[in-house]
Structure 1
Amino acid sequence: LLCVSIFSDAFIKLPITENSQVNTSSCPITYYGQEYTTIYINFTGEHMFVCFNGYYNPESNGDCIKAPNTENKTTFELNDDNNPSYWTYATTLVQSSVNTITNNATCYLAFYGSVSIHQWLQNLRLVNDSLVLVLFDDTAQSVCLNWWICLLHFSGFGVKPGTTRQSLDNCTSLICSNTRVSFTSRCDSLSNVTATNRLCTVTGPTVIDFRGQMNSVSDRCEYTLLQDQSTGFSLKANFLERRRRDVSFVDSVTLDFSQGADIQLLQGHRVLVSSPVTLSGLVQTFNGVGLSKDQTGVTADFSLNGSPVSLFFDGTTAQIYIGVPVNVKGLCADSSSSSSSRLSSDSTCQLYNDAADDTINPTTVAQQCNILKSSPFSSCNAVVDPESYIIACRNTLNKYPAVDGLRCQFLKAYAKACQKRQATVQNWWTAAKYHPEPICQDKCSDHEFCGDIHGNTDCRCRAIYASQYTEQNRLGGPTVCKDNTASLTLVGCLLKENGIDYNHLHLNDKTCTGVMDPESHMLKFSFSSDSCGTEVTTNNSQVIFTNAVVTRNSSSDLITRQDKVFIEFSCSHPAPELQNVAFKIIDNWIMIFLQSGEWHYNLTMKAYSDAAQTQLLGPNSDVRLNQKIWIVLETNGLDEEVVSVVTDSCWATSGNSPSSSPRYDLITDGCANAADGTVQVMGNGQGTSNSFSFNMFEFSGKEPSEVYLHCQLQLCVNKNNICEPGCSGPARRRRSLRYRRGTPALISMVWTP
């Protein structure tokens, strides 16, 4: 029951100038069997909305009445005086405006401004601009001016007394009369779908089911559109994002059979039946499905329980026409069944909330979408109700910019629906100023979609995929260092969106260009430590290998249309962390794994009893005093053309700590201890491995005990042989090596007598 009033001298008068909640308990509203004692008033642009169950939300089909906005203000009147003289005037005025009203008024609610109540009643509308029929309830006993408002959210048109319309509420029929609104029981099939409404449209995030009711998909999930449990057939739609993360679009549809290969209709008019298939205007049959393609999209014709079904998909809209109603489930049977129709797991259906696009003008959006009520579309309005398509258009374009042909997507969907009903809309593209965009045929990868890039149609990055790079102001992933090579991968669609032609990019050496992967559209640059113009520098104790991606620049070019690009990336061999690990000689050799940035190498120290290094000292080896021992320090994973290993010092201690005492030096400053004639150093600083020998000993004045050997090493950049320590002559001086002595690598082993 909706209680609305006319003027009176005995009333409660409340000026309202902002969004407000008003208590109407003395003249309650009963709406579809639900009594409301609070009304919500809010002002939006040109309109004032009076709502029953919350403030007006443009994205919902809320229970609201729209009235003219009189400068963001209205006066609310609530009358509970039973003076009959007032009700006579009120009844006469209302009945003259709405000829279906027959009973008398007993109380009223009024919202008015500079517009008369008579005019206001004539302009009653739903939020979707469709007509509201207002009916008095002759049986009402409450003290108010009562009449029924019979509304259908899915179409918005009023229901005339004595007629029946299909409701949004899960296959429930509504019967509206002068005295009551009644509902039929719930049905379980499509048997009551009329012959004039057997089309399901999925366009953008919106599903308009066979009954005309609509719902929107807000996540990135896969949903069942049609499911026939008797045959095991399912028609599934996958929804993905485009430029925004919080608006999803139907991206592909799959015909899933209990037996035989699935058929996937993808972006770019592509079709997969286990593998890509080439279609033309001629029908080709796969697994009982007739497939054909033209310049507008792909059509799949098949049979479902004896009923012919036609599916059309153009990459933005899927439309399913069923010839004979059959018992099926899914969003096309009931668009409100999203929870039971969702196929993806929650982990893959993450919801996002992006910042609102402040460039969107709701007034402009309404004008763009309402064209479906104008010529030449109006010629089809009596056959195909445009209201659901208008709502779908508004809801999407109020959140998502009208780019990539999005506005015309809804117009094309409506025109296609008209065509299915033999009510073809002639030359609608001229009136809509629609210019068909070329499709990205067989072109875009999974993380891309076909859209506009600087006036050209090309593959753009999907928002969620791109955000992992754009949020860090990057065009690709981090540098990957492996052995003595480095690589950098850039995202092709991000390069395009930034106006960068990958064909104009190279490394420091112009001959080193990137390699574009034809499937993933990822551009990969690679260099080794001694190629592509790699620069080798030192910083403290690090050896750094640097290169850069730059734009090719030709002095012969008079003009250029390429932005300058400079992306520097590097790998390094930082000084390894100090290792303080003692190994007994029973471990016949020692390996320490050292990780340096993302390049890595192994450092090993082995002990031998012969100069040929064939007799590795093991757990059962006897080591006698004054026996000559050969120690080999070897690395794996370094480029000896670029880097050398210098054994800086080696010493022995009686304790396991390198700093314990007593201490006996074998190598200092890269050279053998001149006081110990048994020590010889070989190949130090000449490559990535070196060795030394000495005669075995023990510490004096102690009981036989363990002897710990410790060596520390440094990395040195090869240049003019300066890595080799100068150890000749009594007045030897150590050369200035190309490294800074900092924290070296330390490796230790122990002998146990």
Structure 2
Amino acid sequence: MKLICLLTLALLMGFLAGAQKFTNQQPDNPTKSKAPTGTHQLSCEVEARHKIQCGSASISSSDCRDINCCHDGHMCYYGKCVTLQCTKDGQMIVVVARESTQPNIDFESISFHANEPRCRPVDATSAFAIYQFPITACGTVIMEEDGVVIYENRMSSTYEVTTGLYGAITRDSQYQVLLQCKYAGFSTEAQVIEVGQVPQPNPAAAPGPLNVELRLGSGVCTTKGCVEEDLAFRSFYEDSDYPLLKVLRDPVYVEVRMPARTDPNLVLTLGRCWATANPSPHSVPQWDLLVDGCPWVDDSYQTTLVPVGPSSGLLYPTHHRRFIFKMFTFLSTVVNNSGKGGATDPEVRSPLTRKVYIHCDTSMCQRLFENNCEPTCFRKRRDLVRDTFQNTYKYDSTVVSSLEIQYKELN
């Protein structure tokens, strides 16, 4: 998708007057302000019949440009972009041009962080959609930094995904921006930022190969009544502890994490997790632990998924995945042909090796709405229907493996 307008930034010095509907009425003009640096050039080639007035009818051309609108010498109007205005009485007004993207965005696919009835357009034409709602509605998040109150929402578009044997594609525009209204004293700043262009918190969050670690929890219960699963992931085995020795059916606590990312909207996802008798993830035999992120149903001792939420104490819970499986050993098959008349006796199975290695196919997922990026075993049926048009983007995949685990026999 090509974004015609990558970043719209309107700095409004002084509050806008109370919000009014766009049909035949506009908010009062903001006072003139210095145009922010780094603002991308607007596309002002809007047909006369599609022009929607921006600001009051008497606004000057310079003031019109200062609020990132276009002026043709007679009228101030919205360009082919996404424009945000934050009003004195606490309203967000968002004007979206269909030609904000190439191919053009489908207005029906647009939604905000929370889909409430009042988050739908208050007016629309064939070229523009107009939204207006209280700054605390539609899932807006409120933050405060150095005396500045920030109201942040997220506007996204869904897209249809077509999946083949070896990949997935879409032919729809994919669009996601952050909308921020910043209130400080008697000044307001309205900011529209394309997600993906947002500066990362530090270099560790910069784009790059997916760095994933697989480690095994070593915590144990030492007091009566404690829950081992709650303590198992509080400490982890070091490389010097391997090979680990486990009794058959002992729980093995597995955590997969991406330690070098600091974007809270990224979610680590697990596809298939499996075990092998050799270090190579492609070796055979293999035994599935998770399939599509869910416990393999044909295992009589099914793997247990461990939710990782805010109560875990982790800074970025979505960057961690945890599960538990029961220790096992691979078996070889030996056919005994010593029976009379060349008859073949039943198969005799014996341990193939005492070694087990764990592997997981992982990827990063961009979370756009609550509960996205979760495996289907966590979702209700009505959520699965949305998968065809789900606002989820998965990228960067890699396979991560454990060191050697061995089973031991009790004497």
- TM class by smaller structure: 0.3 to 0.5
Work out which structure has the larger RCO, using CA pairs closer than 8 Å and 6 or more positions apart in sequence.
2
Give the TM-score normalised by the residue count of structure 1: 0.23
Give the TM-score normalised by the residue count of structure 2: 0.39
Give the number of the structure whose alpha-carbon radius of gyration is greater: 1
